Amino acid sequence: AQKVTQAQTEISVVEKEDVTLDCVYETRDTTYYLFWYKQPPSGELVFLIRRNSFDEQNEISGRYSWNFQKSTSSFNFTITASQVVDSAVYFCALSHNFNKFYFGSGTKLNVKP
């Protein structure tokens, strides 16, 4: 069975705090892909990152970083020095070669000034 769990429904932080969004996945396949998307209040879904199951290297992009650990089936997302513009719902997703995405339920991040 394929499943993505985002246990944190909503997180509130104050600007400049670091925040980590958790994502735990389930799959029996050895080849799979993990994604993060951002959905700001305006409503569109914005692609942030894609990782494949053979690449466990952590990735950093500006204030964003991602920690992929196959041993714990987790793909966590950290925002360093959060800003108000980071306020959004963040979705983690799992896919295989067959294209179908399995989305988590999302984590709503509120960054307060």
Does residue 52 belong to the site contacting another protein (CB under 8 A)?
yes
- Unique residue bearing structure tokens 């799979």: 32
Alpha-carbon distances of 77 from 29, 89, 97, 99, rounded to whole Å: 22, 13, 23, 23
Residue with Cβ nearer another protein (21 or 106)? 106
In the set 16, 59, 105, 112, which binds another protein (CB under 8 A)? 105
Does residue 28 belong to the site contacting another protein (CB under 8 A)?
no
Compute the least distance from the CB of residue 109 to another protein, in Å.
16
Identify residue 113 by its one-letter amino acid code. Answer: P
Residue 67: what are its φ and ψ, rounded to 5°? -120, 110
* Encoded tokens for 93: 């997703």
Three-class DSSP category at 72: helix
Sole window of 11-19, 61-69, 72-80, 95-103 interacting with another protein (rule: CB under 8 A): 95-103
Residue with Cβ nearer another protein (86 or 106)? 106
